[in-house]
Homo-oligomer: A and B are copies of this chain.
Amino acid sequence: MKSYTAKLSLLAVVTIIISLFSTSMEAQDTGENHKIVFQLTDNDVKSQKALTNQLKNLTESWPNAQIQVVVHSAGIHYLMKEKSGFKSEIEALVKKGVEFKACENTLKSKEIDKLEILEVAGFVPMGIGEVVLKQEAGWSYIKAGF
């Protein structure tokens, strides 16, 4: 009987510790479990500004989230050295761990050389395909723009 009570007490203590630990985990959600793929296809500066602000907020709230921004179609200017209005913001976001990927299909069809793309950005063969692969791997999808 004594041993039974002791076991119950131990169980109670362990349960309390686990629940405290869980609460503290939740309160300190720094984003390590979040994986988010953004898709930008819009050349509108307002859309690009909204996206940039969302990325800033997101990296502040969830500094450890995995974030990838796939840029294709008309949105490609966002990542071009001569055309992007957000170069310093993109560079700052890359330092925080955000990845930017330019679509090689878009570069081909618009006759843009890879050298014209910001050096901090990477490349993917097909923008849409990359967004699909990420969703298949469990990433959440956010379509940028309005």
Contact = CB atoms under 8 A, between A and B. Distances in A.
Identical subunits present:
3
Contacts of A43: 146
A33 B135 CA distance: 13
B142 A145 contact: no
Given A142-B128, A146-B41, A54 B73 contact: yes
B129 A58 contact: yes
A39 B125 CA distance: 22
A140 B146 contact: no
A141 B139 CA distance: 12
A128 B50 contact: no
Given A41-B146, A73-B50, A146-B41, A132 B140 contact: yes
Interface in A122-146: 125-126, 128-129, 131-132, 135-136, 140-143, 145-146
A9 interface: no
A41 B129 CA distance: 21
Given A53-B109, A62-B129, 7 more contacts: A36-B128, A53-B73, A57-B128, A74-B146, A75-B146, A135-B141, A136-B140
